[in-house]
Chains A and B, each alone.
Chain A
């Protein structure tokens, strides 16, 4: 139910909706002029080519749409954004968050997919100089990664946008799974479970009992 292609597509569109701010032409312009873009440019080649230990890590064969870099960015983002260990919430190991994100990403229209991809690369690489972390987002420790998100939530329009997009992909991919609902007492679909009767169509109006409008009276 919640992992159907239909709901995947809707969830993907919802999560990526803020990207409307960064249509392709505007995205590049904004990236070049914005503080995040400046950070990447200032970092120059060493920033965007900064190697990471995750570069050598594998991606599961089941992942079809996320690139290697995107997969590891979302893997790290999920750990940072959903620290549910030790809480009553459903453990991450029981919810296929990355599989959901992968499915959602595959259903984005091509132009939006390209923008999201560029945005994710920017988010990962800009950490090298944005906040002077000296390393990509995927390599930040938990505290630095949280601080990085928080700083982007207060930053330039492009930073606010990407902060929202990444969080929404992760949050929706977790919370749309019914396994996450019992700990927070969310009921989900109820009509069939409660056996509620269907009322059908309303009966045809009795026009003789209704107020007639001017033109109909005459």
Chain B
């Protein structure tokens, strides 16, 4: 890398065996950066990295701008609290306006792919059918998208968990599902030689998780793509209805404004994620009135339970198996995923009671196991730039509350069938179940009001929906933002309806699809 007074140039380089060449705030010496590129990509996560590689290997001059820091894998600490600070949006505290739904997103080079649980699903057929019937997206079928899925599956070493990757929590809960006669399957994950540390959410220190940090980004860089971290894009620039570039700020990890940045580019790909992408577009005054609307997020419960035997939920592969018995909307429309967790999460995720009940609960931390519920939620939310901050307007809708409760009851049943002594309900008050006969009575005490339920979202999506009808979509079926030429969306914002399953593979495939159509 070489630096001139107000311009940074990156020497072309072969792909290093480890690490990534990134221009960070600490590399910037002037107070203004003026850059140009054929394509500028905002965001370096699932959508941005795949777009960068696919376009760079076609010979385009690609510039990737990432708002978060560059944290090499070796610097991951395997300390969840510390990882929230360095790797997550809003230091892990991004929440809806009611404060009862944490929206966890990665905010670092590699984005959420660095901190996710590696779970890899293709888009379910019934979701494609919904996109076809409700949004006119006839090009998206399992068959037409198969080459896209196969590419990313091979590139990211996606394979089904092998027996040694099924940790104790997953073995125990698999048995519970089998006793109930429910279909339970091993996850597929994007991982090479999983080291079974259980620290997926803090980043994979030894580079086994095939995140964008160790795959598509170094590959894109090998094809000449330039990557800047610590670079917050404020606006997409346009003239006469056509994109001309972006402008923003370089801000270091302490929040100091280091420089302004302006990039000239005829093509802009938005891949900042389903919260930031619409915010940037709204700040830019671009797109139609659908930008920011139709936000969905897979609101999830983490349903924890105490078992008589030690489980050690922090040991082994974090995600082992899932129950797909209820996945289709006709069967309930939810998925149960068996997931591990660490001590920091455990002390915050349940409300076992005050004082002694809490101490008793934590004393038995090694006996805990948990199930994450995912539902096919309606697109009822909205992301809105409020002038000086973003707002995530999302309340669990009354239409989705029954699905949430059905998923919760199923999770409780599964725990009890697996031999749990006590299942803790994800509520602000202490509620638990110890026998099947009490499930309905206890769960039915929950009501859909702010601060009553403890929910987490790992999958924000849908805020720049694609579709054929401008009245209900922000982007056309090729990912082009309506109302301005040269702006594309290539992240989870595009999803017309919520996926019900973990979205990373769908986003990779869609980003590849959009990149193929960038002209």
Chain A residues with a Cβ under 8 A of chain B = 1-2, 4, 6-7, 9-11, 13-14, 16-23, 80-84, 87-89, 142, 146, 149-150, 153-154, 157, 160-161, 163-164, 167-168, 171-172, 174-176, 180-181, 183-192, 194, 196-202, 204-205, 207, 209-216
Contacts and interface: CB of A to CB of B under 8 A. Distances in A.
A189 B78 contact: yes
Contacts of A183: 363
Ranked 5 nearest A-B pairs via Cβ: A13-B93, A10-B85, A20-B99, A21-B99, A189-B78
A171 B348 contact: yes
Given A88-B363, A213-B148, A188 B78 contact: yes
Contacts, number: 232
A198 B74 contact: yes
B163 interface: no
Contact of B429 (A81, A153, A197): A153
B359 A160 contact: no
Interface string B78-95: 110111111010111101
Contacts of A11: 81, 84
B355 interface: yes
Interface string B56-98: 0100000000000000011001110111111010111101111
B363 A146 contact: no
B92 A14 contact: yes
B207 interface: yes
A160 B78 contact: no
Interface stretch (B25-33, B317-325, B449-457): B449-457
Given A14-B348, A191-B78, A204-B15, A160 B97 contact: no
B332 interface: no
B283 interface: no
A172 B347 contact: yes
Contacts of A194: 195, 197
B359 A82 contact: yes
Interface of B: 15-20, 57, 73-74, 77-79, 81-86, 88, 90-93, 95-100, 102, 146-148, 150-151, 154-157, 192-193, 195, 197-199, 205-208, 210, 214-215, 218-219, 222, 310, 312, 314-315, 342-344, 346-348, 351, 353-356, 358-359, 362-363, 365-366, 428-430, 449-452, 512-513, 516-517
Contacts of A20: 95-99
Interface centre among A18, A176, A183 (most CB of B within 10 A): A18
12 contacts: A10-B82, A10-B91, A20-B97, A81-B358, A87-B359, A88-B363, A146-B355, A194-B195, A198-B18, A201-B214, A209-B154, A210-B150
A207 B451 CA distance: 50
Contacts of B512: 213
A2 B79 contact: yes
A189 B151 contact: no
B241 to A, nearest CB: 25
A18 B83 CA distance: 20
Contacts of A153: 351, 354, 428-430
Nearest to A156: B451
A82 B363 CA distance: 11
